[in-house]
Amino acid sequence: MVSLRTAAIEVLEENRMAGFTRPARGLYPHQWSWDSGFIAIGLRRIAPARARDELLTLLRGQWRDGRIPQIVYTAGADDRYQPGADFWGDAGRELGAAAATAGFVQPPIHGIAALLVARADPEHAPAFLERVYPALAAWHDYLSERRARDGALAEIVHPWESGTDNTPLWDAALERIPRDAATEIRRPDLQHADAGERPGRKDYERYFWIAEHYRDRGCRDDDALPFRMVDPAFNALWALSEHALARIAALLGRPVAAHEERAERIAAALDELFLDALGCYTAYDAIAGVLVERATASGLVPLVLPGLGRAERLVTTLTGPRFLDGARLVPSYDRTAADHLPGQYWRGPAWFNVNWMLATGLRDAGRGDVASGLERAMVEAAAAGDFPEYVDPVTLAPHGTRRFGWTSALVLDALAGGTSFREALA
Ligand code: 2M8
């Protein structure tokens, strides 16, 4: 029998493409932005050069305005994933991308990923960081100038930008979106995952309506956008990555103050998203002007931030009945909610990337005991379910696609003893 480590390496090998790793063989044939961040973090444990390539290949898709796109498309795979490169046309290439890309973005994991990858191989770190630093600084400037127009926190303009596509956080905002998209919705994803575990038809009609609206207006981030949400996980990762850019700048002998100031500003502004009644952070609907009253794992992700004032309260919520009490892994959505669904995508199942971020945050917050428990459950769930995309938080039963990229990568990291953001930033 091969070891779990060897099996994880095999999954990453099987999903290896030209310079990057696809999330999964059938369901996701392209390069995804935050997947590549998590995958690079895992790859640094076994192949630092490949981890560097993973991030450098993603950056080929960067637009002149600084955005790092949600998807960099593999040529000839449009019939296998929708929306494909054909949906977006030449928008990205006209704006400087060296590859066909989506117009949306995903959570900014890249700064911290680049720092961790650099730390894994000090000899090659300076040349690698010289290459990625200007690109990552431009990415964060895009978020600041185009997405955080009203304050310190960035808005997302589509559920796909959160990475937690059909989380209950977006339900009320999506109700306002028309369902008559012009695109013929084919759903090739349903050939690779159970329909009951994926977003529904109504969701897709709205996803496409917003995507067409954004594309047809030149992917401009203006006030006419129909969906504008402030996501706590997206912004926490931005602040963490901004701290990482400060560290990278210091290593390169460049000014650090602007990065540190921005990181602090974002972290301070996150406080506006804290809902005392839920004991966690939540999303803000920038169009309706309200906080969403739902407890999701996204609202726990700020635990990744060093020195977070509310860390203790978050740990209490995380280990309480809404999340970990009675479960093995932290679910994506409140287990006490009437509409919690333990096998339905981002509406209940536990995800490996989220649990990895929380385990890392917990360890840095002095709760290595809880962190180790999560890492043990990740390892067990990956072994039993053939590296599933997501699992039932209580039984660890596998759901979604199998032999999934970030599951394998982050299990490699857990097997190597896990990560400390605090150490990486020191
Ligand atoms: C899922 O999202 C894509 C759209 O980006 C999809 O549902 O087709 C999400 O889980 C997202 O977080 C992830 O990056 C992507 C690829 O693994 O799949």
Q: How many Cβ atoms sit within 10 Å of the Cβ of residue 426?
A: 8
Ligand 1 atom with least separation from CA of 27:
8
Q: Closest ligand 1 atom, CA of 162?
A: 12
- R_g of the chain computed on alpha carbons: 20
Tell me if residue 389 is catalytic. yes
**346 half-sphere exposure, CB direction, 13 A CA radius:** 21
Burial category of 150 from C-beta neighbours within 10 Å (exposed 0-12, middle 13-18, buried 19 and up): exposed
Phi, psi of 398 (to 5 degrees): -75, 145
Active-site residue (options: 203, 221, 231, 389): 389
Q: At what angle do helices 110-119 and 232-251 cross, to 10 degrees?
A: 40
Q: Ligand 1 centre and the CA of 324: distance in Å?
A: 24
Residue having the nearest C-alpha atom to atom 13 of ligand 1? 163
Instruction: Give the closest residue (by CA) to ligand 1 atom 9.
Output: 163
Asked whether 35 lines ligand 1 (CB < 6 A), one says: yes
Task: Please give the pLDDT value at position 251.
Answer: 98
DSSP string, 263-298: HHHHHHHHGGGEETTTTEE--EETTTTEE----BGG
Mutate to test the pocket of ligand 1, among 32, 70, 170, 201 (most ligand atoms within 8 A of CB): 32
User: What pLDDT digit, counting tens, does each position of 68-125 carry?
Assistant: 999 999 999 999 999 999 999 988 898 999 999 999 999 999 999 999 999 999 999 9
Phi, psi (degrees; rounded to nearest 5) at 213: -60, -45
Ligand 1 contact via 28 beta carbon (within 6 Å): yes
State whether the beta carbon of 32 lies less than 6 angstroms from ligand 1: yes
User: What SS3 state is found at 406?
Assistant: helix
Whether residue 223 is predicted with pLDDT greater than 90 in this model: the reply is: no
From the CB of 14, is ligand 1 less than 6 Å away? no
Q: Is 26 helix (H, G, I), strand (E, B) or coil?
A: coil
| pLDDT score of 360 | 98
The reply to whether omega before 226 is within 30° of 0 (cis) is no
> Is the whole model's pTM more than 0.85, yes or no?
yes
pLDDT tens digits for range 164-194: 999 999 999 999 999 999 999 999 999 998 9
**C-alpha of residue 343 to centroid of ligand 1, in Å:** 16
pLDDT band of residue 407 (cuts 50, 70, 90) is very high
Q: Which atom from ligand 1 is nearest to the alpha carbon of 345?
A: 10
Measured CA angle at 380 (ends 379, 384), to 5 deg = 120
For residue 1, what pLDDT is reported? 72
Q: Which residues pair with 398 in a beta bridge?
A: 391
Cα 127 to ligand 1 centre (Å): 31
- Average pLDDT of every residue of the chain: 97
Is 165 assigned a catalytic role?
yes
CA of 56 to the centre of ligand 1 (A): 20
- Catalytic residue (choose from 10, 65, 165, 171): 165
For the stretch 339-394, pLDDT in tens is 999 999 999 999 999 999 999 999 999 999 999 999 999 999 999 999 999 999 99
Residue having the nearest C-alpha atom to atom 10 of ligand 1:
163
Cβ atoms of residues 251 and 116 within 8 Å: no
CA distance linking residue 375 with residue 368, whole number of Å: 10
231 in contact with ligand 1, CB cutoff 6 A: no
